[in-house]
Amino acid sequence: MKKTILISAVLAATLMAGGVEFKQAPAAKRVMPEAGKILSYNEAIKDIKACVVNISAKKRVKQNIPPAFMDPFFRQFFNMPFGQAMPRERVQHSLGSGVIVTSDGYIVTNNHVVDNADEVHVTLPGSTKEYTAKVVGADPKTDIAVIKIEAKHLPAAVMGNSDRLKTGDLVFAIGNPFGVGESVSQGIVSALGKDSVGINQYENFIQTDAAINPGNSGGALVDSRGALIGINSAIITRSGANNGIGFAIPVNMVKRVATQLIEHGKVEYGFLGVNISDLTPDLQKVYKNKEGAVVLNVDKDTPARKAGLKRGDLIIKVDDTPIKDASDLKNAIGSIPPGREVEITFERNKRVQSVRVKLAKFPESRLSSSEKSGFVEGLSLQNLTDPMRRQMGIPEDIEGVMVTGVKPDTPADKAGFMPGDIIIQIEDTMIKSIGDIEKAMKKYPGDKRIYVNRRGIIKILVAR
């Protein structure tokens, strides 16, 4: 033992003699909480807990019954009396959470919690009384919805300011995980401004390691004061349970969207009319500014074209908001109502210029992750992204376009499409993006064969 200590001392002396210096932390004393006292955040989150509700949604889904099941011989073989009706629809139940934002009954939740629901019921904390809720409005682009119950003098959440959050801030996730009832989990803000997750069209997520599980969707993310800073939205997981990577929609975005849904029943987004990309390391060599969104194309008859923006411009600021990448620009423009004039600052040929642009309304015809496509009526589509592949366990060798939604009693529903299907081929055209679908639709008029990958099994559907 003495020999070992001697060698260590000689090594340390050698390091110091060689001029190697390490920054040493100052000595610290370990302490315990004051004797007889318990460290607790119960008082801080007591009020906000009363604002987080349980949501139960019911959706009636029609089933496509194979023709064989209607054959009398088939029914007799399986001992099914001829007069016995085959079930043509089933009821899907989903559980989630919501946050009361006004004392007269307006509640914010996720769009995916109440999407296409036939019935929505709300239970308040500490009560067994069930309220029937009305969906006031929903915005699939941000995954935010507002519902309302007929009640008064309800506790309403105190709003924080998500723009002032810092990585490392202590946070609590409150909701109804797995339908077990109200629960609170604690963690920190792991990251801010997460925008390439592949969940929503407009993304600016708060990432947290506070446990968020199925049923927590739509619940509250609060700071250590008990102020609402976000609405829990999603997790990245392979097992279906929490793995320490959860995402919440910042409360500042929630307030803006919820206000429009309550006042107008819908959300309108500003539209500039440019195709953009991030500033890659190679592109940084040809621009003076090292952050921004590069304009790849300027569409005809758009505010950008009228204002004189050109391909190759590097947009670095919208009004006073700095633009670091393409997602920043998309979120900045989308947060501004149509008709408002903004100042766009950009770099062109290494010179910084600015121009005033009056934003237009986002065209309904534009395909997006959650909008109705021009493919088959009732179908919502989304290009496959790497985050989606990781989240859903889709192998890299599978290419195509994912079906994210199928509205009941539409041509898409009757053709047999299901959410989660991956469209891989239309007639002889291989599908890798929504653009490929548009080309195939023009190429093959009338009824056409559509091949889908459904959980690893290839199926063929026919649609017009």
Which of 124, 148, 172 terminates a domain? The answer is 148
Instruction: Report the predicted TM-score, pTM, of the whole model to 2 decimal places.
Output: 0.66
Which of 264, 282, 302 terminates a domain? The answer is 264
pLDDT < 50: residue spans in the chain: 1-5, 7-15, 17, 65, 67-70, 73-78, 82-84, 86, 365, 367-373
The pLDDT, as a whole number, for residue 237 is: 53
Active-site annotation holder among 139, 143, 325, 328: 143
The CATH number of the domain where 119 resides is what? 2.40.10.10
The CATH number of the domain where 289 resides is what? 2.30.42.10
Looking only at the bridges linking them, the beta strands covering 422-426 and 457-463 are unpaired
Residue 62 maps to a domain: yes
The pLDDT, as a whole number, for residue 239 is: 52
Number of C-beta neighbours around residue 378 at 10 A: 19
Residue 405 maps to a domain: yes
178 and 246 fall within a common domain:
yes
Residue 274 maps to a domain: yes
The pLDDT, as a whole number, for residue 378 is: 78
* Number of structural domains found in the chain: 4
The pLDDT, as a whole number, for residue 167 is: 92
The domain of 170 spans 162-264
279 and 357 fall within a common domain:
yes
The DSSP code sequence of 393-416 is T--TT--SEEEEEE-TTSHHHHHT
Active-site annotation holder among 56, 94, 112, 223: 112
260 and 275 fall within a common domain:
no
433 and 405 fall within a common domain:
yes
Residue 1 maps to a domain: no
Residue 183 maps to a domain: yes
User: pLDDT tens digits for 12-29?
Assistant: 444 454 578 888 888 888
103 and 134 fall within a common domain:
yes
User: pLDDT tens digits for 141-186?
Assistant: 888 999 999 999 999 999 999 889 999 999 999 988 766 678 898 9
Q: Which helix (H) or strand (E) holds 74?
A: helix 72-77
- Known catalytic residue at 409: no
Active-site annotation holder among 94, 183, 185, 217: 217
Maximal C-alpha separation, the chain? 96
- Known catalytic residue at 93: no
Residue 373 maps to a domain: no
Which of 148, 172, 196 terminates a domain? The answer is 148
Residue 229 maps to a domain: yes
Cα–Cα nearest to 215, from 194, 244, 235 = 235
Residue 241 maps to a domain: yes
The pLDDT, as a whole number, for residue 372 is: 40
- Known catalytic residue at 143: yes
Burial class (CB in 10 A: 0-12, 13-18, 19+), 424: middle
